[in-house]
Amino acid sequence: MHFSDQSCMEDLILQMSMARDISEIISIVRHSARSLIGADGISFVLRDGASCYYADEDAIGPLWKGQRFPMTSCISGWAMIHGETVVIPDIYVDPRVPIEAYRNTFVKSLVMVPVRPEDPVGAIGAYWSKVGEPGPEIVQRLKRIANTAAIAMTNVALINSLATAREESQRARDAMILAMASLAETRDHETGNHIRRTQHYVRALAEAMRQQEPYKATLDDELIDLLYKSAPLHDIGKVGIPDSILLKPGKLDKSEFEVMKTHAEIGQAAIETAESYMGSTTPFLSLAKEIAYTHHEKWNGTGYPRGLKGEEIPIAGRIMAIADVYDALVSERIYKAAMPHEQAVDLIASESGTHFDPDIVEVFIKIAPIFKDIHRKFSNAA
Ligand SMILES: [Fe+2]
Ligand SMILES: [Fe+2]
């Protein structure tokens, strides 16, 4: 092999190793195989059930691109069925060649190599306009290209199955979260669509916050998505609150309220249990835990369960506090009427720096109409 051929072959191998889908593999073969082989034509054939699909070609004249033939009546089919390389110095004297298919082509001789001979998924053909036996080195090179394509196709299949597995586990995770959240929701009949609404408020607030410093860098797409997905678990701890308190049709007395307050710790502990079962945490679980634990803290340190102050309260808890309170205010409860949107915004504004983070309240006031829309869109009746 000449030096330049050698480096072309290495180039092809490198490109193949980086291919991310089958069409890339085919295109690499189309672009470099013909000159590497010194052939008049190259075709890439894929096995498609009982037929051979001529997926692509690079040749001095048209071959069979886009056509399908039964496996039993074409040379690529023969190569795939037998898992063997076929060398045909003169197509008109070889009984395996379906002459009719070749009459309108330039082809006089050919080599066909199966891709992955032990379990062929395709074949690569090289064609010449002259009768003659292609040298062993040429056959060897074509085999090498086919082997490289086989490895690349296996890689692509692996990458795809990994991506599918990842998607499945993400879907399972999302379904689990919703199942857990709806479990909490069925215990608390008054919440209606509270969980869905707070999820949307939180995302709207975070997206508006990241328009300005110091949140530009910290609130990235990934974190906002995590916030959106973990927000439904903020009241998961309510599953641990007795019905007599959770479903009481009126204001709670002091001791009942003390019990109600424990939902923040119960939620935190429940998610921690999930983490310990997993043997590690995930960004999602640790954020969900943080929100469950801190969404009732207040900026001035008078909240619960720990009485955290200012920026000691994680940002996710500070965002959730506003979303949670807004929704409670504008929603009807058995013991209270719904407060009009404007009044709820004023009330939250008046608690800036006492209950809520003043910077987040500022953003909230700016985007308050979005909150109103979300509440309308996911009203309890829906
Ligand atoms: Fe809560
Ligand atoms: Fe809530």
Residue 382: the pLDDT is: 44
Q: Which ligand is nearest to the CA of 296?
A: 1
CA of 372 to the centre of ligand 1 (A): 21
Among 108, 132, 159, the domain-final residue is 159
Ligand nearest to the CA of 263: 1
Q: Ligand 1 mean position to 238 CA, how many Å?
A: 8
Q: Which of 351, 371, 373 is nearest to 361 (CA)?
A: 351
Q: Going residue by residue through the chain, which has 382 residues, state the pLDDT in tens, using 9 for 90 and above.
A: 565 777 888 888 889 988 989 999 999 999 899 999 999 999 999 999 999 999 999 999 999 999 999 999 899 999 999 999 999 999 999 988 988 889 899 999 999 999 999 999 999 999 999 999 999 999 999 999 999 999 999 999 988 899 888 888 877 777 777 777 777 777 665 566 888 899 999 999 999 999 988 888 889 999 999 999 889 889 989 888 998 998 888 889 999 999 999 999 999 998 888 888 777 778 888 999 999 999 999 999 999 999 999 999 999 999 999 999 999 999 987 778 899 999 999 999 999 999 999 999 999 999 999 999 999 998 865 4
Picking from 198, 221, 201, 199, the residue whose alpha carbon sits closest to that of residue 210 is 221
Distance from residue 317's CA to the centre of ligand 2 (Å): 11
Cis-peptide into 369, omega within 30 deg: no
Q: In this predicted structure, what is the pLDDT of residue 1?
A: 54
Residues 335 and 194 grouped into a single domain: yes
C-alpha 295 – ligand 1 centre gap (Å): 6
Using the mean position of ligand 2's atoms as its centre, give its distance from the Cα of residue 233 in Å.
9
Ligand nearest the Cα atom of residue 268? 1
- Residue 112 alpha carbon to ligand 1 centre in Å: 69
C-alpha 326 to ligand 2 mean position (Å): 10
Domain identity same for 83 and 224 = no
Spell out which residues have Cβ within 5 A of ligand 1, the ion: 235
Residues with Cβ within 8 Å of residue 66, at least 6 apart in sequence? 54
Would you say residue 382 lies in a domain? no
Asked whether residue 177 falls in the same domain as residue 129, the answer is no
Same domain, 155 and 174: no
C-alpha 215 – ligand 1 centre gap (Å): 25
The CATH number of whichever domain residue 322 belongs to comes to 1.10.3210.10
In the reported structure, the alpha carbon of residue 375 is separated from the centroid of ligand 1 by a whole-number distance in angstroms of: 18
Residue 182 carries which side chain, given as an amino acid letter?
Answer: S
* CA of residue 260 to ligand 1 center, whole Å: 9
Phi and psi (nearest 5°) for 167?
-60, -40
Query: Do 129 and 173 belong to one domain?
Result: no
The CA 183 to ligand 2 mean position distance, Å, reads 14
Ligand nearest, relative to CA of residue 196: 2
User: What is the distance between the alpha carbons of residues 290 and 202, in angstroms, rounded to a whole number?
Assistant: 14
pLDDT of residue 108: 96
Same domain, 151 and 174: no
Total-model pTM: 0.62
How are beta strands 68-70 and 86-88 bridged, if at all?
unpaired
Sheet bearing 51-59, strands edge to edge: 68-70, 51-59, 41-48, 122-128, 109-115, 86-88
Which residues on neighbouring strands pair with residue 96, listed in sequence order?
none
Tokens of 157: 């299949």
The residues, any chain, with a CB within 8 Å of residue 372's CB and separated by 6 or more, are 341
pLDDT digits (tens, 9 = 90+) for 235-262: 989 888 998 998 888 889 999 999 999 9
Question: How many domains does the chain divide into?
Answer: 2
CA of 194 to the centre of ligand 2 (A): 7
Measure the CA–CA gap between 43 and 263, rounded to whole angstroms.
67
Ligand nearest the Cα of residue 197 is 2
The answer on 367 and 237 residing in a single domain is yes
Number of helices followed by number of strands (H, E) in the chain: 15, 6
**Residue corresponding to tokens 């954020």:** 287
CA 178 / ligand 2 centre spacing (Å): 15
Q: Please tell me the distance between residue 330's alpha carbon and the centre of ligand 1 in angstroms.
A: 16
pLDDT confidence of residue 248: 85
Residue 164 lies inside a defined structural domain of this protein:
no
Structure tokens at 23: 């069409």
Q: By the 8 A CB rule, do 331 and 338 touch?
A: yes
5-6-11 Cα angle (round to 5) = 95
Domain boundary among 133, 159, 185: 159
Three-state DSSP state, 361:
helix
Query: What is the 305 CA–ligand 1 centroid distance (Å)?
Result: 11
What is the number of the ligand closest to the CA of 199?
Answer: 2
Q: Are residues 371 and 267 in the same domain?
A: yes
Among all bound ligands, the one having the nearest atom to the CA of 194 is 2
Are both 52 and 26 inside the same structural domain?
yes
Report how far residue 222's alpha carbon sits from residue 115's, in angstroms, rounded to the nearest whole number. Answer: 41
92, part of any domain: yes
User: Closest Cα to residue 371, out of 204, 228, 191, 227?
Assistant: 204
CATH code, domain with 52: 3.30.450.40
Q: Which domain holds residue 214?
A: 169-377
> Do the domain assignments include residue 40?
yes
